[in-house]
Amino acid sequence: MIRELHFPTPIYILDIKDQNLNIQGKYLLDIYSYEISKNKHKINQYCYHHDIDINVNIDTFTEDYFNKLIRATEHKKENIGWITSGSDSYYTQLGIVVTDTFRPGFHKDNSNWGAMFQLHKLNHCKGNPSRLKKNLHLVDYPPHPVKIHGPMSAIMMTTMSSMEKIGICEDWTRYTMLIDEDWSLSALKNNLWNVWVPDVFHSHPNRRHLRISNNKWEAEAHAGLLKKWGFDTDGAYTQGVSIPISELREQYAGTNVPWSSYRNSYEWEYLDD
């Protein structure tokens, strides 16, 4: 279950590729918590991904992928929750103005999903792949690692010491729906920063339009999120949250949870700020 990747800095990958794929539900999610607890004495970095086999992605990682992520953030590791890299496939290959790297958070421009973060100058290219192709020079990457609300779970990495603060995987459904949102919020509540390293890339080929089924158990996952956090998250709400922003800020004052609510997604706050 815990698999070591042999880099100069050991990385331990938790995956389910060797398990009976009929295993579902609470037991499957308990596997994550059990394996982390059992092996925490030997884990420095923990990497979570929502695909069955990380090898699906690893062939097109930036060279020296994991060590580049670690080197970019090592000096701030005591303050960091989740770390992620970038994926540009949607806008460079599929002609779609969207990033599948980040949760939208509570940013002021949450309603402009798709044309957020580094794609904030490409709103006029939505629904027009040929126009997007001609305007890729407008992609606005930050020059250094930046703080984010949280990553989507194509790949997200943390230290074991931060994982112990963040906590175990919730078992709201028979699937990993909204686990990335919950774990991102848990990091922020513990005053850790989630970070994007913009010059390191992964490939995420499990495209939604190629799936046999769509997202699973969304209603149940949102119900679990609401019960735990006192709010739901969705693009239909103002700034992506079901309670007033003022209430969010008051309820989670003194934590990093409301951090994104004060800024647009592309108003970068650098890790070293």
Confidence at residue 29, expressed as pLDDT on a 0 to 100 scale: 43
The pLDDT of residue 228 is above 80: yes
Residues 85-95 have a mean pLDDT of 90
Which of 22-26, 81-85, 205-209, 253-257: highest mean pLDDT? Answer: 253-257
Q: Which of 207, 91, 68 is nearest to 139 (CA)?
A: 91
- Per the prediction, the chain carries an average pLDDT of 81
Confidence at residue 203, expressed as pLDDT on a 0 to 100 scale: 78
The pLDDT of residue 83 is above 50: yes
2-61: per-residue pLDDT in tens?
444 444 444 444 443 333 333 333 333 444 555 555 655 555 555 555 554 444 444 457
Distance of CA 207 to the CA centre of its chain: 16
Confidence at residue 14, expressed as pLDDT on a 0 to 100 scale: 47
112-149: per-residue pLDDT in tens?
999 999 999 999 999 999 999 999 999 999 999 999 99
How much of the chain exceeds pLDDT 90, in percent? 53
Confidence at residue 64, expressed as pLDDT on a 0 to 100 scale: 79
pTM: 0.84
Q: What residue segments make up the domains of the chain, in order of their start?
A: 2-262
Residues 67-86 have a mean pLDDT of 91
Residues 144-157 have a mean pLDDT of 91
Residues 86-99 have a mean pLDDT of 90
Alpha-carbon distances, residue 15 vs 18, 50, 155, 179, 268 (angstroms): 8, 9, 12, 15, 32
For residue 220, with 0-12 CB atoms within 10 Å meaning exposed, 13-18 middle and 19 or more buried, which class applies?
A: middle
The answer to whether the beta carbons of residues 21 and 52 sit under 8 Å apart is: yes
170-189: per-residue pLDDT in tens?
878 777 789 899 999 999 99
Work out the pLDDT band at 247, boundaries 50, 70, 90.
very high
Which secondary structure element, helix H or strand E, spans residue 3, and what is its range? strand 2-5
Confidence at residue 170, expressed as pLDDT on a 0 to 100 scale: 83
A 10 A CB-CB count for 55 gives 11
Confidence at residue 142, expressed as pLDDT on a 0 to 100 scale: 97
Rounded CA-CA distance 257/251 in Å is 10
Phi-psi map region of 191: left, alpha, beta (phi>0 left; psi -120 to 50 alpha): left
**186-216 as b/e, with b when 16 or more CB fall inside 10 Å?**
bbbbbebbbbbbbebbbbbeeeeeeeeeeee
Comparison of pLDDT for 153 and 204, the residue scoring more = 153
